[in-house]
Chains A and B, each alone.
Chain A
């Protein structure tokens, strides 16, 4: 907040000052506000409306006819692709977000403990943020040497533990190997979260640690009783950031579906809007849930 502005704003007598503040504030904000209205707020509402319609492109523009719940019925009951894609999106986003939020915290916590090589390691961890794009990820994931024909676990048979687990349960081995194969991809999403965490960790007052140490708390207790509670707001930011960030990559199966539906401008836009709206609703609900989860806990603590 512009501190000076706030202090002055409180003096109600100088109304001309406040008027100027309003005028110039809005003048500087104007481009963004217009853009927000035109390209974000209006499309937001329009998509919801379009999801109930059939859209056909004509020579002059678009022919929009009301379709009621038709699109939704088609999406859930007739379309064989959307529901599985949405489910596989959910089964991907939840463990991924979980792993990213925790792994990046651990890495940031460790990075914060060292001084030598810290810069170099941080640079390496941040590198993926710069080079990661949909096509790059697609190429990396699709250039699997076996072409996916073989059992993924068999490839790693030279690792003894994999063999043991495979003998016990084939399914478990495949799941575990999958996670490890995708680990580098998962790790590529931790670049920005690590920086955010480190930044937060550095802001913690070292006196707090000292006080805890004097009270004979060990490192484990300090981590859980001081560091994590203080860092909690950042966890919220990181979680929300991760959810909206992962969604934009082509590992997200729903994205491709919406994209192909959008490309069919002659008839597909209505159903594409339905897809987009359902998908966005799920994402927004997920983010809302995360937000509430962290918010509530904070309030509880205040009551105590």
Chain B
């Protein structure tokens, strides 16, 4: 009797659990559509023809698909030039940031120097201090430098490379923490073995720490690349429009489009509309989407490895 009753109860609990699980899936999948909605909207809009855009019966699927929007948006964005510029610019900054984050993370992980705790707090502070507070003196400093030196700094990537090389690039703190936590996982005995064999600390860093942490280096590089790609505030202040970068160009898309449309192509369908805007946005994020498709796992692991969640 009791056995039967127990079995029944167990079954009921099991049914309840399956039901709950289904509910969870339902909620999570719905939410994931809210996340993707802007991107799906962009993709659908990008392939609409002019007729589809003004046709109220067309919501998602274009009736007469065309790539006209993408072509126009690509021309206005000056895609060939801006894409190449963005890649080398972000790549260069990412290399600089990766190196310095590695060095700093190594110092924090391997050495117990004086005031280490203070420097730790400073590294966190560097993340918290709002950027506008720092940009004005930075700008003035670089303008003063260029007056002294006699050649242009503003409008070149030099100021940002300098800042990245000295550990003050975009989200440097997070990159340092990723390295710091990975280095902590490497057993100290490896360092000791190398040092007994006569390796200098720099050799230990390059030959042991860096060689083991190949995947971490990649993660840090990718994060830095993406963040530098998306960064527009510092770039807008220090580089302005001397180097045409993709996100910055997207920011000026409306006015750039107006000039483009005014230049002899003033037909009605060339009025600014959201299809062009969203196509341009889609173009500007496509490189990042492709990157993410290949290495998404590493990105997520990278954030997990920052170790700010405990220990």
Contacting pair A31 B278 (CB below 8 A): no
**Total cross-chain contacts (CB, 8 A):** 290
CA distance A126 to B300 in the complex (A): 7
A213 interface hit (Cβ, 8 Å): no
Contacting pair A117 B25 (CB below 8 A): yes
CA distance A113 to B20 in the complex (A): 10
CA distance A142 to B308 in the complex (A): 35
Contacting pair A32 B103 (CB below 8 A): yes
Can you list, as one digit per residue, whether each of A195-209 has a CB less than 8 Å from chain B (1) or not (0)? 110011001000000
Contacting pair B247 A143 (CB below 8 A): no
CA distance A144 to B41 in the complex (A): 12
Partner of B163 from A35, A117, A187 at Cβ < 8 Å: A35
CA distance A29 to B113 in the complex (A): 10
When A126-B296, A233-B310 are in contact, do A143 and B130 touch as well, CB less than 8 Å? no
- Of B135, B139, B291, the most chain A CB neighbours within 10 A belong to B135
Tally chain B residues at the interface, Cβ within 8 Å: 93
Q: Which residue of B lies closest to A8 (CB)?
A: B112
When A29-B119, A110-B28, A187-B34 are in contact, do A138 and B134 touch as well, CB less than 8 Å? no
B262 interface hit (Cβ, 8 Å): no
Residues of B within 8 A of A110 (CB): 24, 27-28
When A28-B107, A123-B296, A272-B136 are in contact, do A244 and B128 touch as well, CB less than 8 Å? yes
CA distance A129 to B284 in the complex (A): 15
Can you list, as one digit per residue, whether each of B280-306 has a CB less than 8 Å from chain A (1) or not (0)? 110011001101100010011001100
Contacting pair B309 A237 (CB below 8 A): yes
B244 interface hit (Cβ, 8 Å): no
- Of A38, A47, A131, A237, the most chain B CB neighbours within 10 A belong to A131
B32 interface hit (Cβ, 8 Å): yes
Q: Which residue of B lies closest to A60 (CB)?
A: B147
CA distance A136 to B135 in the complex (A): 22
Residues of B within 8 A of A145 (CB): 274
| Chain B 112-134 interface residues, beta-carbon cutoff 8 Å to A | 112-114, 116, 119, 122-123, 125-134
When A31-B104, A126-B300, A280-B132 are in contact, do A2 and B139 touch as well, CB less than 8 Å? no
Q: Which residue of A lies closest to B291 (CB)?
A: A130
When A114-B25, A131-B289 are in contact, do A44 and B133 touch as well, CB less than 8 Å? yes
Q: Can you list 20 A-B pairs, Cβ within 8 angstroms, ordered by A? A: A28-B201, A29-B108, A31-B104, A36-B166, A39-B166, A46-B140, A59-B147, A125-B32, A130-B292, A134-B251, A135-B232, A138-B251, A144-B274, A237-B308, A237-B309, A240-B128, A263-B237, A273-B136, A279-B133, A280-B130
